[in-house]
Structure 1
Amino acid sequence: MAATFGTGTPFGSGSSTAFGNSSNFGTAASGGALNTATLNPNNDFMVSDPPNDTISSVHFSPAALLPRNFIIATTWDNEVRLWEVHSNGSTQGLGMIRHEAPVLASAWKSDGTRIFSAGCDRICKMWDPATNAVDTVAYHDGPIRHCAFVGETSGVAGTPFLMTAGWDRTLKYWDVRAPPNPAQGGGGAMGTVSLPERCYAMDVNGSLVVVGTADREVLWFDLRQPLQPAGRKTSPLRYQTRCISIFADRTCYAISSVEGRCGIEYLQDTSKSFAFKCHRIDQGAGGQERITPVNCVTTYPSTAPELVDVLATAGGDGRVNIWNKAAKVKTKGLKEVPLPIVALEFNANGAILAYAMGYDWSQGASGYARFQSVPPEQRNLIFLHAVQDDEIRSKSAGARPPVRKGLF
């Protein structure tokens, strides 16, 4: 992979555009600028040259590329950007492609050689950053909300393949080696599953897929029998589903909603399922709470018994919290940033937690007016938090090991 990534030079011309890494944050001179302490209260690293519009997803490169880390971000102004994250916390922009409409989802090929992106233009693109080649590999009749790549280690015969789920109420499977044909039924997909409603959330881990739709429906699939749901239920949360993330041991998943709560749902022993408040702020007198949507949930990548229960949530309150579901405790709460958190993910070995700040429309037009009062260079930032051992281990799990030295 050294020949593909990290050359420090643009990837070429064609449909991609290179961008630099010289941004300076927290020192803007324009009116309304936030100081460093307000903008970045956790003193985390900030990704250079952030996007110009709200970020819809962030995804780290797969384990195949470790110890090197790369991160992609998709945005509502039609962009897909790629950076390398260096061990000292600095980042280098490596390339960018564009769609014809807002981009809602992204994924990596399991070997790290390709990037997939999909959105409101109703297609999924496959980008080769080494050559800047961009191919269309999937079609839907409506916006594509999520995409995922299923690799050779999934335990599924006939892999690899791409999955896409959209607002046209379908889940589709694609062979990325065969050009799709939009004139064919289903756009030339290998298989299509009808969903009960529009896809709002999806996660894939090995052969397990969990999809959340409008009307609070949740379906899960065993990819060894991909055309029939293995199960279906109504979300335990009362309001619209925002995010789903499967735990590394695949026994359960986390699901979040706009009501400031997160649910832990077990697939077999359902008696262990529960929900908890995670992004509700006590307003003091009268027991009132300020409820904000839980925009993001990400589970820890390790299957180690002492870490498999770790998850992180982020919401419209501008806060990132790390939890242990077995101990039912919050092990770390990052300090509040001035805008909502709109994207969140651990990297492949759990050493870095990326979170993106932007506007989520949870406060409507009045909130957007406040958002616009922030200088453009401070609105849509991506932070990189170096995860420490004491932030992901519950006190009830026994003595904590020493805090990790170094950055990542």
Structure 2
Amino acid sequence: MAVVATAERGLVIYQLENQPSEYKRIDSPLKHQHRCVTIFLDKQSKPTGFALGSIEGRVAIQYIQPANPTKDNFTFKCHRSNGQTGPQDIYAVNQIAFHPVHGTLATVGSDGRFSFWDKDARTKLKTSDVLDQPITACSFNHNGNIFAYSSSYDWSKGHEYYNPQKKNYIFLRNASEELKPRSKKRTQEEIICRILEL
């Protein structure tokens, strides 16, 4: 499978087996410009859907053939300031990566943070401390033990904010435990946090 995000918030899905061909076209579930798209696999390692990130600090989880489209497909907010005392700052989602073993995911954004998520439990697993530059890309190694991410300017604020004195970095993080899915039982505190995030 291949998923192509196009202009005017369109998405084109291709099947690549045998003779590659267009499978279907859909409109984006997100209201703002796409920034990244990543395919996720089911337990049999077959492509089953994709995650789509936008400039508006939001990610959509879309299944290609959802059993229940209204429940299986959903969006969630991320890479935003808490905005409790003033206006909320919203940042672009620069990349999404799925853990190759657990199926959980990482998002990185213009706010200089990475976050780990459990899409099946629809909960946040972890958010990093903020870096002094945006996080522009991320990936897991083949067995998911290492999470790599890069910090550099992503041009989201235009050329006037580019500082050539700031160095670019690539970080490696042990990811063997932090991306394990949550157990099916949720604590009352987790449910309240989930409601507040929506």
Question: When the two structures are superposed, what TM-score results if normalisation uses the length of structure 2?
Answer: 0.84
The correspondence for 1:292, drawn from 88, 91, 115, is 91
3-state DSSP class of the match of 2:100?
Answer: coil
Distance 1:279 1:365 in 2: 22
Letter in 1 for 2:63: Y
Partner of 1:53: none
Contact 2:146 2:176 survives alignment (8 Å)? no
Counterpart in 1 of 2:149?
355
Partners of 2:107 and 2:170 lie apart in 1 by: 16
- In structure 2, distance between residues paired with 1:283 and 1:366: 25
Query: Is structure 2 residue 113 aligned with structure 1 residue 319?
Result: yes
Tell me whether 1:334 sits opposite 2:128 in the alignment: yes
Write the distance in 1 (CA, Å) between the matches of 2:16 and 2:176. Answer: 35
Which residue is equivalent to 2:176?
A: 388
1:322-370 deviation line (CA, Å, top 9, x unaligned): 10001111111121111001111111111111000001111123321xx
Q: Please tell me the residue identity of whatever aligns with 1:392.
A: L
2:139 counterpart residue number: 345
Aligned residues: 179
Other structure's SS at 1:259 match: coil
> Tell me, what secondary structure is at the counterpart of 1:388?
coil
Question: Is the contact made by 2:118 and 2:182 (CA closer than 8 Å) also made in structure 1?
Answer: no
Distance 1:373 1:284 in 2: 33
Deviation at 1:373, TM superposition (A): 4.5
- What is the CA–CA distance in structure 2 between the aligned matches of 1:327 and 1:217, rounded to whole Å? 28
2:159 is paired with a residue whose SS is helix
Secondary structure (helix, strand or coil) at the match of 2:95 reads: strand
Residue of structure 1 equivalent to 2:164:
372
Which position in structure 2 is the counterpart of 1:259? 56
- CA deviation profile, 1:229-276 (whole Å, cap 9, x unmatched): 101111111111111111122221101011100100011113310000
**AA matched with 2:154:** D
Give the equivalent residue in structure 2 for 1:219: 12
Q: Which residue of 2 aligns with 1:280?
A: 80
Deviations 1:297-333 (A, max 9, x none): 011112xxxx22x010000000000100011111111
Distance 1:336 1:212, change over 3 A: same
CA contact (8 A) 1:319 1:341 kept: yes
Write out aligned runs for 1:7-406 (5 A).
208-224=1-17, 226-249=19-42, 250-269=47-66, 270-271=69-70, 272-286=72-86, 288-302=87-101, 307-308=102-103, 310-368=104-162, 371-374=163-166, 379-389=167-177, 391-397=178-184
Q: Call closer, same or farther: CA 1:231–1:360 in 2, change over 3 Å.
A: same
The amino acid of 2:182's aligned partner reads K
Instruction: Mark the runs of 5 or more structure 2 residues left unpaired by the alignment.
Output: 186-198
Which digits, 9 at most, give the CA deviation of each residue in 1:134-155, with x for residues without a partner? xxxxxxxxxxxxxxxxxxxxxx
- 1:342-401 Cα distance to aligned partner (Å, 9 max, x none): 111111111111000001111123321xx3343xxxx21100011032x11243346xxx
> 1:214 is matched by which residue type in structure 2?
A
Matched position secondary structure for 1:285 = coil
RMSD (Å), alpha carbons: 1.8
Q: CA offsets, 1:170-215, max 9 Å, x none?
A: xxxxxxxxxxxxxxxxxxxxxxxxxxxxxxxxxxxxxx11111122
Find the residue that maps to 1:392 and give its secondary structure. coil
Which amino acid is the alignment partner of residue 232 of structure 1? R
Decide which structure has the larger Cα Rg and report it.
1
1:356 aligned partner, one-letter code: S
